[in-house]
A = this chain, B = another copy of it.
């Protein structure tokens, strides 16, 4: 694949991310996508078999960027609490600062393929050693610093508030400054930490 082709593919993915995030999968016609990417409609189908495959490819790209952002600056020598706060703060800032990525991921996970992807990820994490950094913390500390609860419940308590708040932020219902972010991260920790501590 020539360098020009790679540029073209990137342009398509970039335009797709913007359009999908702003208008939704359904309401983002391939024609408009082509225009925004400065490409002919037909060319999109050179790089992606159909619209679904474009969505899948975009998901892989966005998810990788997210995973990298989450673990940035992680330090395993810190306390469980501090590690958790660090990861979750990374997560919040990434999602808040990348609204297109956030909206895209939300849509993706709410769509039929998203459910399957989620299930697949859980199984993969259980089967292989390559666990998400959050799962690692949860499994290591559940019953100690963290409450002894099913993994899914810990997930819900940790991520639920964040997604909720970022949704409202992007809808213009809340302002999320550094103070609020710290408060939410704190609240998430309070929800999962053992009371004894």
- Interface set of A (CB-CB < 8 Å, partner B): 26, 106, 110, 115, 118-119, 122, 147, 149-150, 152-153, 155-157, 159-165, 168, 171-174, 180, 183-184, 187-188, 190-193, 195
Contact = CB atoms under 8 A, between A and B. Distances in A.
Closest 6 CB pairs between A and B?
A160-B160, A160-B164, A160-B161, A191-B191, A156-B165, A156-B164
- Within the oligomer, what is the number of copies of this chain? 2
Contact of A174 (B115, B150, B188): B150
A152 B171 contact: no
Most B CB within 10 A of own CB, among A119, A149, A161, A168: A161
Contacts of A163: 160, 164
A92 B91 CA distance: 26
Nearest to A166: B156
Given A156-B161, A161-B191, A195-B190, A183 B149 contact: yes
A189 B191 CA distance: 8
Given A171-B118, A174-B150, A184 B157 contact: yes
A173 B160 contact: no
Contacts of A173: 118-119, 122, 152
Contact of A191 (B26, B110, B118, B157): B157
Contacts of A150: 174, 180
Contacts of A156: 161-162, 164-165, 168, 184
A163 B157 CA distance: 10
